[in-house]
A and B are shown apart, each in its own frame.
Chain A
Amino acid sequence: MRRLAVEHLAVRHGLLHAVRDVSLHLDQGEVVALVGANGAGKTTLLRAIAGAHAPSGGRIWFDGADVTLIPSHRRVALGIALVPEGRRLFAQMSVEDNLRLARSAGRAGRWTLDSVMAAFPQLPPLRPMRAGTLSGGQQQAVAIARALLTNPEILLLDEVSLGLSPLAVDQLYASLQTLVATGTTIILVEQDLNRALGVADRVICMLEGRIVLEGPAAEMDRDRVMGAYFGVDRPTAERAP
């Protein structure tokens, strides 16, 4: 079943074209890794899908409905959740209050306060603590748990391992594997190529706002992705014979 379709999407930051003519689609239960260098437009693409950034052109379809003009808070109610880059927790509020806020989405489902506490074993002792006092790994767990509490159909994860210790990243990916096993549809932005290839069904590589490589993760090797990642295969005027 087709969950998400993006057609010829264009997003700008002022004069900068961050995303140009991007089309992609996701089926139910698919895990797609979105890779690319800094500034390739990955974060902007995810934010546009979540409704946090208005596109300048193109369409976004979710479960067969056109959601291009729907604001972010209503997209959450439809089942699109974003774990934003940098976690964006409410630092002055307790972990519990951060999590309870997600109930505003008004979506019931398998994720409740109790079930996320069970899924992220590091969370229960942190409940009364201020979110701003936690370590990066703990904050990331709270951010993912908060997004899950909206009971999304599709989860967008932006750079979830950024700035975490290797141990915290291992813990995080162990939690992600359980999510994948439950059939959650996921788009994952990840800098670590091996991790991305390990968890994803399909890989999409972006360069300067465009998709330059797309294919099943099993058929991708590191060199091919790296080539697309840095644009070395791209014919340019300078390198023309």
Chain B
Amino acid sequence: MIWVDQIIQGVLLGGYYALIACGLSFMFGVMRIVNLAHGSFAVLAAFGLWELASRFGVSPFLGLIAILPAMAAVGWVLQRFVLERSVRGGPLVPLLSTFGLAIMLDNLLFERYGADTRSLAPYLGTLSYDSWTLTDEISIGKLAVLIFVAAILLLGGLQFFLSYSQLGRAIRATAADPDTVGLLGIDAGRVNAAATALAMVTTGLAGAFMAMRTTFSPYAGAPQLIFAFEAAVIGGAGSLWGTLGGGILLGVAQSIGAEINPQGFLIAGHLVFFLVLFARLATNGALGRYLRRRSP
């Protein structure tokens, strides 16, 4: 029964990982940009919500009404003034510029807030510890379920938006051929800015849930980036449903690892990540071609 419990908790944790990976996967899939400042932006949104909650007593859920549009604006500016310029310098430059941006953000937050850890949990009332009892041995946290449902709605909604809306079509087309969309009356620069704004909204939402379910500090961005990266890569970068699957696989692996050994939480997640990465390289990457040539 303990294993069933761990798997259920792992799936719910996976919902959170999918949420944090969503923006990263979306930006890579659409614009081929790996945003290394992704985790730091999530933390930035978390501090925004914390300011609203601690100063003005605004509930973190209400605070999202202000913070998510602000994150969209951040995304727009990020694309127009940083990424659009970096992309012209080749594929490596956006990686470097977002890395630099992450360092800058982390340290600016540190200047302002210091090393104290904070959490939005105190502003959630009973939601932070409420749970539903399934059996005598298994109960699930209401917040964890809420995050899981939010992840499914967000990834599903984003997939639906990409498939059926005109802006969604434009985003997919611009990713494939930015030169040709111009010939159809689409401003590729605006489309990419809108896509980045959208990615930052999902990042803001992920930051909010991170701050509700756990504690955070100015340097909390990097660990979040690693989990997001692992979930996105396991699921196949750029595929939104794959990202959900990747997040769940990562969450389940970590939960089971923790059950085997209390130290096994992180290592089991990393192990699954490497196994998936290796399997994918072996089946269709350069390694696969090499192995096939060796064994005719």
Contacts and interface: CB of A to CB of B under 8 A. Distances in A.
A, B co-complexed: yes
Contacts, number: 71
Nearest to B191: A104
A102 B184 contact: yes
B182 interface: yes
Interface string A60-96: 0000000000011110110001101000101111000
Given A100-B169, A101-B169, A76 B176 contact: no
B193 to A, nearest CB: 14
Contacts of A20: none
A71 to B, nearest CB: 7
A76 B180 CA distance: 12
Contacts of A146: 184
A104 B180 contact: no
Contacts of A88: 177, 179-180, 183
Contact of B185 (A77, A84, A90, A91): A77
Contacts of A76: 182-185
Nearest to B167: A104
B52 interface: no
Provide the main secondary structure of the chain B interface: helix
A97 interface: yes
A195 to B, nearest CB: 24
A178 B166 CA distance: 29
A52 interface: yes
Nearest to A106: B185
B183 A101 contact: no
Interface of A: 50-52, 71-74, 76-77, 81-82, 84, 88, 90-93, 97, 100-107, 146-147, 150
Give 6 closest A-B pairs by Cβ, nearest first.
Answer: A105-B185, A72-B182, A76-B185, A88-B180, A104-B186, A104-B185
Interface of B: 166, 169-170, 172-173, 176-177, 179-188
